[in-house]
Structure 1
Amino acid sequence: MSNRIADRLEIHECLYRYARGVDRLDYDAIVDCYFDDAVDAHGSYVGSAAGLVEDIRSRHQIIDSSQHYITNVIIDFDGEDRAHVESYCLAFLREQASEEGQPQNEAMSRCRYVDRFERREGRWAIADRVVVFDEFLTNQVQDLRRDEWVVSRRDRSDPVYLWGRDGSTPRP
């Protein structure tokens, strides 16, 4: 039983690292969630993880904020080294404003990741994924963040990569 707990934790961690990778545009982290021969059917994109990264790189050029929430993870093991995993995902993608201070379009997607995870050479990763969409909505939003707040960044300068890592607490 305890090995299955460790397996579940590793699968969960992979799902969460994928979400962080997309939200921070950490392309290496995205690719690391897949095996080299994995296939991802992701909306209009179907192909390898490397190709998915290029698709995200292109589609997210106009996105200034991205948050993926992974929930309701169900893991059904199929032998020692294979698991069928369903995860709900709620994603918010906000487009850059046409002019500073203007309303922005924000897309909200409710979808599910239907994955086949495999363990190869001791590592669990995605071997096959299809994204099943429930709905895709857009709204106009107005960002009301204050200037003194710590702001997220879509790269490795985001506080998650830096905050307290060297023993200090950097400030924006």
Structure 2
Amino acid sequence: MSRADDRFAIQDVLFRYARAVDRLDHDAIAACYFDDAVDVHGAYTGDAAGLVEDIRTRHRTIDSSQHFITNVLVDFTGDDSAHVESYCLCYLRQAPTGPGAPQDLAIIRCRYVDRFERRAGTWGIADRVVVFDESRTVHVTDTLDPTWVASHRDASDPVYTWGVGAGA
């Protein structure tokens, strides 16, 4: 495997983490980490299993979530280890309190400072600290046309269902 392949594998873990959080795919979140990894994530510090439970609790009232991962810098520290810094922009929208009610949208700018390792041929997060730059909340009213395909924070989202069973 080349260093370019290693970079793509590491970036794939980062992107899969973002999708997993946004779709509330708890198993996929945990799969991005090694079992003994430590994550320092705002008020939470602990292992991946605990992080999954923390996300399960914190995201129960969030009806829309998007994590954008950019500026991924990988510094290899050995054949099977790397320090990785990634910028992240998060949009977390609280569920409405009633039909058509305004919603709070948290916009968070942060960076993931990760230690990645390759174990048994697979790259994963060995340790992470989330470094926060800004968190702000704005009030929004969702004007999405109800006839458009909408996202879902579960396995019914089109990323999992579109084209399934249609020979795709």
TM-score range, shorter chain: over 0.9
1:66 corresponds in structure 2 to 65
Alignment of 1:145-156 (within 5 A): 145-156=144-155
Inter-partner Cα distance in structure 1 for 2:14 and 2:164:
23
1:5 corresponds in structure 2 to 4
Inter-partner Cα distance in structure 2 for 1:39 and 1:166:
39
**1:61 partner SS:** coil
Inter-partner Cα distance in structure 2 for 1:119 and 1:75:
13
- The one-letter amino acid paired with 2:50 is G
2:86 corresponds in structure 1 to 87
**1:89 partner SS:** strand
What stretches of structure 1 move > 4 A for 4+ residues in a row? none
How much has 1:168 moved relative to structure 2?
Answer: 5.3
Alignment of 1:24-103 (within 5 A): 24-103=23-102
Q: CA RMSD in A?
A: 1.0
Alignment of 1:66-145 (within 5 A): 66-145=65-144
Inter-partner Cα distance in structure 2 for 1:139 and 1:147:
22
Inter-partner Cα distance in structure 2 for 1:165 and 1:74:
35
Inter-partner Cα distance in structure 1 for 2:138 and 2:99:
18
Inter-partner Cα distance in structure 1 for 2:59 and 2:23:
11
- The one-letter amino acid paired with 2:33 is Y
After superposition, give the CA deviation of every residue in 1:61-93 in whole Å (9 maximum; x if it has no partner).
110000000000000000100000000000000
- Structure 2: 5+ residue stretches without partners: none
Inter-partner Cα distance in structure 1 for 2:36 and 2:164:
34
**1:55 partner SS:** helix
TM-score (normalised: structure 1): 0.96
How much has 1:147 moved relative to structure 2?
Answer: 1.3
2:163 corresponds in structure 1 to 164
Inter-partner Cα distance in structure 1 for 2:155 and 2:41:
24
**1:102 partner SS:** coil
TM-score (normalised: structure 2): 0.98
